[in-house]
């Protein structure tokens, strides 16, 4: 499938999904949001893809935000529709069973920060900058920022960043727990690929189940989450990958997983 604003490249069983609007600092317009939904569903259905890396084209920005030139004249109903389109895109990334790593180089602001937060975790370059500056435009985050950021770093810290519109460095994002690791710009994709390849080499059934249980249990009680875990853990024992992984361990050989 051909995309106007996206590039998909495969390296083994890792797919690199690049938002390709560098002249607009990869800003998210309606077309890009719809294309991202199609791309993530397509990659989700691709049996040859185990892990996805999301990044932005160019050296200046991962995604500098939603496209202000498109939304500046929205009326109320158009704004609601645009926000819902953004949420559909974020949900596509957060709900896909495969692991999605955000490789953030440069600005991840507004919708860019929100799409990174919808991924499973974030690697950043030293020059990455994060922020939800919507209040400086007279609005507030509308693609999930008010919901995902507090769950990640706590309500107080999230309110401070959202209310001030402050932009923070990669190091500050690391200290807050937004970012997992920081690398020099020239090493960001290489290091992201290393981690993606390591994840892809493991049993994908177990990874899918782990992701599902982590996400399902995050907003429920410990006892409910533990129940989800036990049920899912038991179901894995009915799969090929579980038998292969444990037999390979006992036979002192490398497992050959099939993702089923």
Residue range 17-38, pLDDT digits in tens: 999 999 999 999 999 999 999 9
28 and 96 inside one domain: yes
Q: What is the CATH number of the domain that holds 115?
A: 3.90.226.10
User: From CA 193, how far away is CA 123, in angstroms rounded?
Assistant: 11
- Is 114 catalytic? The answer is yes
Query: 257 lies in a domain?
Result: no
* Host domain of residue 97: 6-200
159 and 116 inside one domain: yes
Closest by CA to 14, choosing from 199, 203, 191, is 199
72 Cβ contact list (under 8 Å, min separation 6): none
Query: 89 lies in a domain?
Result: yes
212 Cβ contact list (under 8 Å, min separation 6): 97, 232
Q: Give the β-pairing of 129-131 and 167-169.
A: antiparallel
DSSP secondary structure letters along 70-113 = HHTT--HHHHHHHHHHHHHHHHHHHH-SSEEEEEE-SEEETHHH
Confidence of residue 71 (pLDDT cuts 50, 70, 90): very high
126 and 162 inside one domain: yes
DSSP-derived 3-state class of residue 68: helix
Confidence of residue 174 (pLDDT cuts 50, 70, 90): very high
Closest by CA to 143, choosing from 27, 4, 241, is 27
Judged against a pLDDT cut of 80, whether residue 250 lies above it is answered with yes
Query: 131 lies in a domain?
Result: yes
Catalytic residue among 114, 175, 190, 229: 114
User: From CA 243, how far away is CA 234, in angstroms rounded?
Assistant: 13
Contact 143, 90 (CB under 8 A): yes
Judged against a pLDDT cut of 80, whether residue 1 lies above it is answered with no
Number of domains in the chain: 2
User: From CA 117, how far away is CA 101, in angstroms rounded?
Assistant: 10
Query: 260 lies in a domain?
Result: no
User: From CA 176, how far away is CA 170, in angstroms rounded?
Assistant: 10
Give me the helix-helix angle, 111-118 and 145-153, nearest 10°. 60
Residue 83: how many CA atoms within 13 Å on its side-chain side? 14
Confidence of residue 168 (pLDDT cuts 50, 70, 90): very high
Structure tokens at 60: 């200046």
29 and 84 inside one domain: yes
| Whole-number pLDDT of residue 52 | 98
243 and 189 inside one domain: no
36 and 88 inside one domain: yes
58 and 128 inside one domain: yes
Note the pTM of the prediction, 2 decimals: 0.94
168 and 154 inside one domain: yes
Catalytic residue among 35, 97, 134, 166: 134
Q: Which residue has the tokens 């894995």?
A: 236
| Whole-number pLDDT of residue 15 | 98
93 and 139 inside one domain: yes
Residue-wise pLDDT for 184-240, tens only, equals 999 999 999 999 999 999 999 999 999 999 999 988 999 999 999 999 999 999 999
């Amino acid at each position: 499938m051909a995309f106007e604003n996206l590039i998909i490249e495969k390296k083994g069983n890792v797919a690199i999904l690049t938002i390709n609007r560098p002249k607009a600092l990869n800003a998210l317009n309606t077309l890009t949001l719809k294309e991202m939904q199609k791309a993530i569903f397509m990659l989700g259905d691709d049996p040859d893809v185990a892990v996805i890396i999301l990044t932005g084209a160019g050296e200046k920005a991962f995604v500098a935000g939603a496209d202000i030139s498109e939304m500046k004249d929205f009326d109320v109903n158009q704004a609601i529709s645009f926000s819902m389109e953004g949420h559909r895109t974020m949900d596509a990334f957060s709900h896909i069973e495969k692991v999605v790593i955000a490789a953030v180089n440069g600005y991840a602001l507004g919708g860019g920060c929100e799409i990174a937060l919808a991924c499973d975790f974030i690697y950043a370059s030293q020059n990455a900058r994060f922020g939800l500056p919507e209040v400086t435009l007279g609005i507030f985050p509308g693609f999930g920022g008010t919901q995902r950021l507090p769950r990640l770093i706590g309500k107080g810290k999230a309110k401070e960043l959202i209310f001030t519109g402050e932009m923070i460095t990669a190091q500050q994002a690391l200290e807050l727990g937004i970012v997992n690791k920081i690398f020099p710009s020239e090493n960001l994709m290489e290091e992201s690929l290393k981690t993606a390849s390591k994840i892809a080499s493991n049993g994908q059934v177990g990874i899918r189940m782990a992701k599902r249980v982590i996400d399902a249990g995050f907003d429920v009680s410990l006892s409910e989450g533990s129940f989800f875990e036990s049920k899912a853990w038991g179901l894995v024992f009915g799969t090929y990958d579980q038998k292969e992984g444990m037999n390979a361990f006992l036979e002192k050989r490398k497992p050959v997983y099939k993702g089923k």
